[in-house]
Amino acid sequence: MEYAQGEVGRVFYARFDHGDDILEGLTRLAEKEQLRNGWFQLFGGLLAADVVTGPEEPVMPPKPVWGKVKDSREILGVGSIFFDGDKPLLHMHAAMGHHGDTLTGCVRKHTEVYLLIEAVIYELKGMDITRPWFEKGGFNRPELG
């Protein structure tokens, strides 16, 4: 385990409307505000997303199992924002429910809002965390500077 100590800096509230792409919007916010280290929480309605629901086997690097959200679902999610060079990389996990059935996973792309999603984004200050490629694991892993 590695860890860093810092403080909460700026706090942002973001409203995503019907049809918006959540990950695209959060990425644009991080770029515009130079939010290099952050944490976010969100909730609301999700219409579509591509989600990794786990690895086929618990090995490194993992072979992801993909799922698709194609119906309206309630979403409750958390994630981090760290840069790799000049590019913000987001990592979000969420529980997405529909009529009592819940899909939980790593939300990766094509994140389309149904009606409304609200997010609070916290800037983490006093830490130098990046998300470079981790060859052994086959993913971008946070590195503490």
Q: Where are the domains of the chain?
A: 7-144
Average pLDDT, integer, range 15-26: 98
Average pLDDT over residues 5-21: 98
Average pLDDT over residues 105-125: 98
* Mean pLDDT rounded to a whole number for the chain: 96
pLDDT of residue 145: 87
> Which CATH number does the domain 7-144 belong to among 3.30.1330.80, 3.40.50.720, 3.40.50.410, 2.60.40.1930?
3.30.1330.80
Rounded average pLDDT over 90-98: 98
- Report the alpha-carbon distance of residue 50 to residue 145 in Å, rounded: 31
Q: Is residue 25 pLDDT above 90, yes or no? A: yes
The b-or-e profile of 45-63 (16+ CB within 10 A means b, else e) is bbbbbebeeeeeeeeeeee
29 phi and psi angles, rounded to 5 deg: -60, -45
pLDDT, residue 70, reads 93
